[in-house]
Structure 1
Amino acid sequence: MAKKVKITETVLRDGHQSLCATRMRYSQMEPMLEELDKIGYKSLEAWGGATFDSCLRFLDEDPWERLDNLKARLKTPIQMLLRGQNLLGYNHYSDDVVTRFVQKASKHGVGVFRIFDALNDIRNLKTAIDAALACPEKPEVQGCLVYTVSPVHNNDYFVDLSKKLVDMGVHSICIKDMSGLLKPYVAEDLVKKLKASLPDNIPVQLHTHYTSGFGSMTYLKAIEAGVDVIDCALAPFALDTSQPCTETMVATLEGTEYDTGLDRQAMTPISKHFLKVKQELINEFGLKGYFDVNPNVLDFQIPGGMLSNLANQLKEAGMENKYQDLLDEMPRVRKDAGYPPLVTPSSQIVGTMATFNVMTGERYKMVPKEFKDLARGMFGKTPVEVDHDFLTKTLKVAENEIITDIKAEDAKAHSFADFEKELHEKGFLNPTEEDVLSYALFPQVAEEFFKKHYAPMTAYKKA
């Protein structure tokens, strides 16, 4: 029986996040929304990830209004990437903030919630999954296997994790390979094991990046093994550190039992538009716009979007010649931290620690608070327990600061009412729930955005 492969298109989110620092404006998306909607994608990934922060910080856009505008013009389900208890920020939030955020995102138009935790700690996924499952709009709730390679991560580990996610009620499973580490034959084995272990009504989706050069080969072997959906980006925002190319994958599968049924020719004008957009972004923001494939990502495992940021930090410090030292240091720091998968926020935390080690010339001479928090359990349970002496002697973490009950810590976090009260104290008297949530995630950035867009502050009316 023919097994039609479905495609999630990432040009509106991960494509430009990976290649152009998430700088695409809604106005640059709008001209092609109707055409994208006609293609027949399984979903359009268009929200979440870094888009929320970027809208407020760089693009002078309200991310909630962007979502409203997308929803008004699209019938294809809008997909978002959500970091579980971190939501779209870099801290753990209280359960009521997580629940309200998910409810509002669903109401504004998110049709697929892709939910992951940087450490694959299912305790950090439960609140967001439960909230999404309870939404009256009935969105698809997708649980993620954050793919990485270490002495403790293997395909059996990920199959076991998938079963736990299904037990939590998710509708589908996504293999989230954020650094392009998943090798073609390993992907084939993993997909076969997942399909054999999960109920027939649970689709398996695969997300990868081209950073290592594996991308299209990995997709092909996964497709042959039975994967249901793949993530692709239209040509201008494909490859390098982004996803495999949509048009190429559609053409590859044409005339086979896996034929997507999508019209590749209809994608051409859309790609031409986004090629112009890419050049606009490169020119306006001084971006590189492309990144070399680097097979050594298999060793240092840094997600593609981070490589340029780390290199820039060294450049600004006049230490460009230390770049290879940094790549060599990353696996050592990751091992010390208990082999966390390197994805937001753990990738930034481990990357910053490695950078400090290289720049100071002395390991752990300067230790950021975030790295101590990661090691002591503030973000959840690390895949391997962090060495006690390293924790207490090297990082100087006190015994009573070591966390075992992450949900007890979440309960201490600011509640929605706390954030609302803060806004009132700052003179914003009538914030919407969406505004309170924006402030909860990015207080300083949101406050500056509000000052610019609402006047007078005491009335909190739109200017």
Structure 2
Amino acid sequence: MKKKIQFSLVYRDMWQSSGKFQPRKDQLERIAPVIIEMGCFARVETNGGAFEQVNLLAGENPNDAVRAFCKPFNEAGIKTHMLDRGLNALRMYPVPDDVRALMYKVKAKQGTNITRIFDGLNDVRNIIPSIKWAKEGGMTPQCALCITNSPVHTLEYYMNIADQVIAAGAEEICLKDMAGIGQPAFLGKLTKMIKDKYPEIIIQYHGHSGPGLSMASILEVCNNGADIIDTAIEPLSWGKVHPDVISVISMLKNEGFEVPEINMSAYMKARALTQEFIDDWLGYFINPGNKIMSSLLLGCGLPGGMMGSMMADLGGMRTTINNVRKKKGEDELSMDDLLIKLFDEVEYVWPRVGYPPLVTPFSQYVKNIALMNLLTIEQGKGRFVMMDESMWGMILGKSGKIPGTIDPELVELAKKQGREFTDVDAHTLLTDALDDFRKEMDEN
């Protein structure tokens, strides 16, 4: 018998990768005991990422929802974890140091045990402060390596990041394969490199299913020393989300690993409840296309977590682009036509902005640059003429160090617009703001 493999249910990410909503507090309270009853999960991802933002959009207090969802797992001895955007904390843009430090104390009090700290640029300067604050706040710091494929994202590149965050106190490493484009053999080699050097470090693999490599990747990382695998359950498994726990357990059991049994009666209850929650929202925020895997994602590398919002953006842009084409006497583009054009444009833009890993918020920035390019090309204006401050902030280094090299065309464009590049430690650009926020809360 091979080593024991544990499983995590990424219930938060299931919802937000298939759409952009999640169950209400009362629904989370109903599903938690059933997840526990399934008997196969050592961990559950309960919050973080877009959870708190979406809760607010739904008119709920996310603090109440996190406490309610974590409580049953805490009592059952199942660890809870959250997704943490490092410099951005729970936002889409940078957060001052004093707010980030306080967040970990708050999340620990709410019942979250582990924080998965990632940086969209893999800049350790944005991760390392959070390791210290997480420990001080009573949480386990798990540091993520955002996986992608490019000439600069080599095994040595990732091992260098792992060395730095482990030296800074990271107790676990997550291979965050947010687009599912990590090549299985590469992921296996990386897992072995980390385990051989740091056998005591827990390695958790998080791989989305979009392009179809995730099951092979899971097998490779497990055969090379991974400890925990992120999984999903029906009706939100597969598609752009994660492999189903039933299939993963079956595969690993057949490979000789020690794996838990699943209480299938509880699985079917959890499946039915999840479908009930979807029906309660009338499926408003789930694009049916997100249930379909697509090999087209291998080229552009866009992550599953943004597919819902991307398709909505594309639908709106299609109308505008087709109006331009009609005036020129050209045929209209179908959604499929435009989708392929967008994927091709992302492939064009991505290396020119320095190969930032395509994960929040940089996946959105690169996609938005590509989408705006499609419009301005149709208008005869060329590329890179509609970029906002966030997109420029990424290019100029204001969010951290870009892994690759910025294209000379963009360097020249920045110079013409009076913009300056920087290699400053991004979190030092922000001043503490807790007192201001407390004042604002009192006033409101």
Task: Confirm or deny a common fold (TM above 0.5).
Answer: yes
User: Is the counterpart of residue 323 in structure 1 residue 339 in structure 2?
Assistant: yes
Of the three residues 382, 398, 414, the one matched with 1:378 is 398
* Shift, 1:395, TM fit: 7.0
Match in the other structure for 2:158: 158
Contact 1:235 1:247 in 2 (8 A): no
How many Å separate the matches in 1 of 2:176 and 2:415?
31
**1:263-319 deviation per Cα after TM superposition (whole angstroms, max 9, x unaligned):** 242423222322333343344557437432111212101112323433332322314
Match in the other structure for 1:126: 128
Question: How many residue pairs align between the two structures?
Answer: 419
How many Å separate the matches in 1 of 2:370 and 2:40?
44
Match in the other structure for 1:231: 230
* Shift, 1:217, TM fit: 1.6
Distance 1:336 1:277, change over 3 A: same
Contact 1:372 1:395 in 2 (8 A): no
Distance 1:382 1:284, change over 3 A: closer
Deviates more, 1:68-77 or 1:79-88: 68-77
Aligned-partner residue type, residue 437 of structure 2: F
Contact 1:391 1:397 in 2 (8 A): no
Match in the other structure for 1:175: 175
Of the three residues 101, 104, 107, the one matched with 2:106 is 104
User: Is the counterpart of residue 304 in structure 1 residue 304 in structure 2?
Assistant: yes
**1:17-49 deviation per Cα after TM superposition (whole angstroms, max 9, x unaligned):** 111323322222222212322425221101001
Query: TM-score of the superposition, structure 2-length normalised?
Result: 0.89
How many Å separate the matches in 1 of 2:390 and 2:428?
16
How many Å separate the matches in 1 of 2:176 and 2:370?
24
Contact 2:98 2:432 in 1 (8 A): no
User: Is the counterpart of residue 420 in structure 1 residue 438 in structure 2?
Assistant: yes
Match in the other structure for 2:375: 359
Match in the other structure for 1:146: 146
Matched residue SS, 1:134: helix
Match in the other structure for 2:326: none
Aligned positions of 1:272-311 closer than 5 A = 272-283=272-283, 285=285, 287-288=287-288, 290-311=290-311
* Shift, 1:393, TM fit: 2.4
Distance 1:149 1:274, change over 3 A: same
Distance 1:412 1:192, change over 3 A: closer
* Shift, 1:170, TM fit: 0.8
Distance 1:285 1:351, change over 3 A: closer
How many Å separate the matches in 1 of 2:225 and 2:296?
29
Contact 1:338 1:386 in 2 (8 A): yes
Query: TM-score of the superposition, structure 1-length normalised?
Result: 0.85
Of the three residues 388, 399, 406, the one matched with 2:425 is 406
How many Å separate the matches in 2 of 1:268 and 1:286?
21
Q: For structure 2, list consecutive stretches of 5 or more residues without a partner in the other structure.
A: 322-334
**1:339-359 deviation per Cα after TM superposition (whole angstroms, max 9, x unaligned):** 100100101111111110001
How many Å separate the matches in 1 of 2:29 and 2:154?
42
Distance 1:67 1:152, change over 3 A: same
Match in the other structure for 2:66: 67
Distance 1:286 1:293, change over 3 A: closer
Q: For structure 1, list consecutive stretches of 5 or more residues without a partner in the other structure.
A: 429-463
User: Is the counterpart of residue 350 in structure 1 residue 371 in structure 2?
Assistant: no
Deviates more, 1:244-253 or 1:312-321: 312-321
How many Å separate the matches in 1 of 2:407 and 2:278?
45
Matched residue SS, 1:227: coil
Aligned-CA RMSD value? 2.0
Aligned-partner residue type, residue 386 of structure 2: M
Matched residue SS, 2:281: helix
Matched residue SS, 1:371: helix
How many Å separate the matches in 2 of 1:98 and 1:147?
24
Matched residue SS, 1:254: helix
How many Å separate the matches in 2 of 1:395 and 1:413?
27
Distance 1:310 1:161, change over 3 A: same
